[in-house]
Amino acid sequence: MDTVDLKATARRLVARGKGILAADESSPTIKKRFDSIQVESTAANRQAYRELLFTTEGADAFISGVILFDETLRQTSADGTPFPQLLDDRGIVPGIKVDQGAKAMAGFPGEKITEGLDGLRGRLDEYRQLGARFAKWRAVITIAHALPSDANVQANAHALARYAALCQEAGLVPIVEPEVLMDGDHDIARCETVTARTLQSVFDALFHQRVDLEGMLLKPNMVISGLACPEQADVESVAARTVHLFRRVVPAAVPGIVFLSGGQSSLVATAHLNAMNVLGPHPWELSFSYGRALQEDTLKAWGGDPGRVAQAQKIFHHRSKCNGAARYGEYRPAMEDEAA
């Protein structure tokens, strides 16, 4: 393991003004996305859509890395260029989702544990040979009555830490993603309490697994109201509570925090990131690793029609630019008029 390379890659992924595109939707998830625009989820259509994203002119000014799915890592562009090489040639770091999904946790109704540790060492070696330079593993924590249980939080934290240690051994920067889900009617205070418990458990496990914090990134949820909560916290409250909590529980050695968007809309996810950066400077870079919040409008504009690729790319560039501005706390709602 070359710790210098890991640290340099981690810093590159959170370069000022840039963030990560999460294009690692599993086969069932991308099918749902395509179903919403009435496009069949074939390998050819998935390849065409991902190429649309990866070849958007000027997006590399705002996108530092892309998380790929196993299939996508092995695909090529229309001219035969492997996607990892295509991204690397544009100065974008290729990454890979390596977990095998969240499954029901035995003995704990309503809670899930992420699987995929078996055989991971060998898969990581192969992924690195295919061009990946970082990886991602997602754990999901559910908020409900009496949930999450301590056992579920600790089991997911342990798996995240073991994954991270294996990544660093293989020369890949691990993105550690403990997601406290937005599903539910809990308020922002409850989210803050559960997020604190989760992050404390995760960093304790990372310490015990001897993970180098300078060679990893954290991909957490924001401290936010549940989707069904009747009183939604405003942008300023989300930013203030999130920053306050993270200053208490996330070590300064971590180079960057790349927030997931969860169930937030594109505009709200950008506004929250911007508000947090307005409160800076921070001990770590506050960036983004958005999937749906970067892609949703682009996907609708494309609609599977090759003739609409240019318009879809324009929208993707705009969304990336807005989030790039939010990295500096310089995003303004008026910027959305540029997409019209």
Tell me the angle at which helices 292-302 and 266-278 cross, rounded to the nearest 10 degrees: 150
100 burial (CB, 10 Å; 0-12 / 13-18 / 19+) is: middle
Q: Is residue 7 annotated as a catalytic residue, yes or no?
A: no
Among 290, 187, 281, 289, smallest CA distance to 238 is for: 187
Cα–Cα distance, 319 to 303 (Å, whole number): 17
44's CB contacts (< 8 A; 6+ apart) are: none
Q: Are 71 and 338 in contact (CB under 8 A)?
A: no
Which of 18, 219, 296, 321 is flagged as catalytic?
219
Q: Return the ∠ at Cα 30 (arms to 25 and 33), rounded to 5°.
A: 125
Quick one: 57 exposed, middle or buried, by C-beta within 10 A (0-12, 13-18, 19+)?
Answer: exposed
For 112, phi and psi rounded to 5 degrees? -125, 150
* Displacement of CA 199 from its chain's centroid (Å): 16
Is residue 80 helix, strand or coil?
Answer: coil
β-bridge mates for residue 141, sequence order: 180
Amino acid residing at 138:
R
Say if residues 9 and 134 touch (Cβ distance below 8 Å): yes
Q: Report the 10 Å Cβ neighbour count for 41.
A: 17
Between CA 246 and CA 242 the distance in angstroms is 6
Annotated catalytic residue: which of 25, 111, 177, 285?
Answer: 177
219 is catalytic: yes
Residues annotated as catalytic (active site), given as ranges: 177, 219
